[in-house]
Amino acid sequence: MDGKLQSQLKQSRPFRSSEEQLFLNLLRTARQFLDDFDRLLRGHELTQPQYNILRILRGAGAAGLPSGEIGERMVGRDPDVTRLLDRMEERELVSRRRSTTDRRVVTTQLTASGLRLVNDLDAPIAAMHVQQFGHLSEDEMADLNLLLERARDEDRR
């Protein structure tokens, strides 16, 4: 089964195991798709974590979310959500307010410009996904999703 990946990596020796080949294949594939995503977001002066926060806050609605909960919902963990929110607040994409009942809680909400930006990104991101995965059938995508979820299943490790 060695072949295309081995050639792309200019590797002359076979992989040590199927697990190693799969891991490297996942990394290479993820990097390719993340590079596409980075290019798209760069045009809007956003990073992946900032875009993730915009999506999370859009889903939260007008009530917004405390920064700790935003961090828990992120696709990739970012240790400094507060710093990300600071930058986004400077750009007026989000606003924050301290709770009057518990001063330790700061709730973040999307501003009108933050909502407009995340909504404007929906179509280009959907088009990017079609370009990345459109050659796969619905069944193949469902199978791949299932396999990736199984591989990530922490109960099996």
Q: What is the CATH number of the domain that holds 113?
A: 1.10.10.10
Domain annotation covers residue 65: yes
Quote the number of domains for the chain. 1
Domain annotation covers residue 4: no
Q: Which domain holds residue 53?
A: 19-150
pLDDT tens-place string over residues 60-91: 999 999 988 998 999 887 778 889 999 999 99
Domain annotation covers residue 5: no
pLDDT of residue 5: 65
The answer, yes or no, to whether residue 28 has pLDDT greater than 50, is yes
CA-to-CA separations, 153 to 3, 89, 106, 148, in angstroms, rounded: 28, 36, 33, 9
Percent of the chain whose pLDDT exceeds 70: 93
Alpha-carbon torsion, ordered 40, 42, 43, 46, to 10 deg: 100
Residue 46 exposed, middle or buried by CB count within 10 Å (0-12, 13-18, 19+)? buried
Domain annotation covers residue 78: yes
